[in-house]
Amino acid sequence: MSILPFSLPGLWRQTESPAATAALHRLEYPLDPMPRTAVLGWPLRSDPRTPVFETWSVKQLESARPQALAGSLKDLIEVAALREMRVLKLRSLSYPLVVITRPGEPRLSESDHDRLWRLFRLPVFEQIRGLDGRLLAWECESRDGFHFAPDAPAQMAAPIEWPKQCNCELALASELDEAPRVR
Ligand SMILES: [Zn+2]
């Protein structure tokens, strides 16, 4: 549900909510060490470094003092709108943002990146997660494409457009160890 005092009909598609099993998966952050990152709208695994707000309020978010945010583009734009209205300050924000998209959703465009840069003055990395919360692909910090989880190919059979693969050596090793294989 939108927390804005106005609605933007038709701007956002009605989409299915991520499943409760998403709580099995933690946020992976593109940089190490991970800053304190508030996760918005995705019920990922919560821990002190990554407070998770499936739904969030101004008060909750402000008191979490996040240094970075991760969530859908919709949630991040809502945060930006509330900051512009000076309802929300979030002075602690200082690390790159993570936008979580789903397979089949459009990838973040150049104009999305530009818009988020204008609003937050922070770089943005994209992650693609299944509705079960599993990390399928993540934008490389080299900005030269995406890395794919080992079990992503099974899900890539869906007739959707996947981003360019990055061929560098960088990868989220911990996630690769953790990711359960698709049987
Ligand atoms: Zn790479």
Within-domain flag for 14: no
d(CA 97, CA 29): 9
d(CA 142, ligand 1 centre) in Å: 6
The total number of structural domains that make up the chain = 1
pLDDT tens for each residue of 121-180: 999 999 999 888 999 999 988 888 888 888 776 555 555 567 888 888 776 544 444 444
d(CA 83, ligand 1 centre) in Å: 33
Q: Which residue has the tokens 């973040």?
A: 108
CB atoms within 10 A of CB 78: 21
d(CA 91, ligand 1 centre) in Å: 31
Helices assigned H by DSSP within 52-145:
58-64, 73-84, 110-120
d(CA 12, ligand 1 centre) in Å: 30
d(CA 36, ligand 1 centre) in Å: 23
pLDDT tens for each residue of 19-60: 778 788 999 998 889 999 999 999 999 999 999 999 999 999
- Considering only CA atoms, give the Rg of the chain: 16
CATH number at residue 45: 3.40.50
- Assign residue 168 a region (left: φ > 0; alpha: ψ between -120 and 50; beta: otherwise): beta
- Which pTM was predicted? 0.81
7 pLDDT above the threshold of 70: no
Within-domain flag for 6: no
Within-domain flag for 2: no
Within-domain flag for 13: no
d(CA 63, CA 44): 19
d(CA 166, ligand 1 centre) in Å: 5
Within-domain flag for 94: yes
Within-domain flag for 28: yes
d(CA 15, ligand 1 centre) in Å: 30
d(CA 167, ligand 1 centre) in Å: 6
Which residue, among 62, 41, 36, has the nearest Cα to 51 in the 3D structure? 36
What's the confidence (pLDDT) of residue 161? Answer: 66
d(CA 69, CA 39): 6
Q: What is the DSSP string of 57-70?
A: -HHHHHHH--SEEE
Do 112 and 73 contact (CB within 8 A), yes or no?
yes
d(CA 10, CA 74): 12
Within-domain flag for 164: yes
Within-domain flag for 7: no
d(CA 145, ligand 1 centre) in Å: 6
Per the structure, the complete domain to which residue 75 belongs is given by: 20-178
